[in-house]
């Protein structure tokens, strides 16, 4: 049996400089509208933490709207 890290909160993906590692760009989904909505994720580390909730809510609302859009 493999044991987990004794301190999961210390298991994050911090770089040597202490900055969290974020993907440089969101993966392409194949849907241009969704890909456009995901673009701001690449800059999430530049947004102050107190503003990230609003940024994720905006992303969520945009994705929900796109999901409910009739493309037929």
Confidence of residue 72 (pLDDT cuts 50, 70, 90): confident
Q: pLDDT tens digit string along 51-64?
A: 999 999 999 999 99
H or E element at residue 48: none
The pLDDT of 7-18, averaged and rounded, is: 55
Domain range list for the chain: 23-72
Q: pLDDT tens digit string along 20-45?
A: 566 556 678 899 999 999 988 888 88
Q: pTM higher than 0.85, yes or no?
A: no
Q: Do 47 and 55 meet the contact criterion of CB atoms below 8 Å apart?
A: yes
């Amino acid at each position: 049996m493999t044991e987990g890290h004794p301190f999961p909160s210390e298991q994050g993906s911090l770089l040597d400089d202490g900055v969290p590692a974020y993907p440089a760009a969101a993966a392409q989904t194949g849907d241009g509208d969704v890909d456009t909505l995901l673009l701001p994720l690449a800059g999430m580390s530049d947004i102050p933490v107190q503003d990230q909730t609003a940024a994720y809510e905006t992303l969520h609302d945009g994705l929900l709207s796109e999901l409910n859009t009739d493309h037929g």
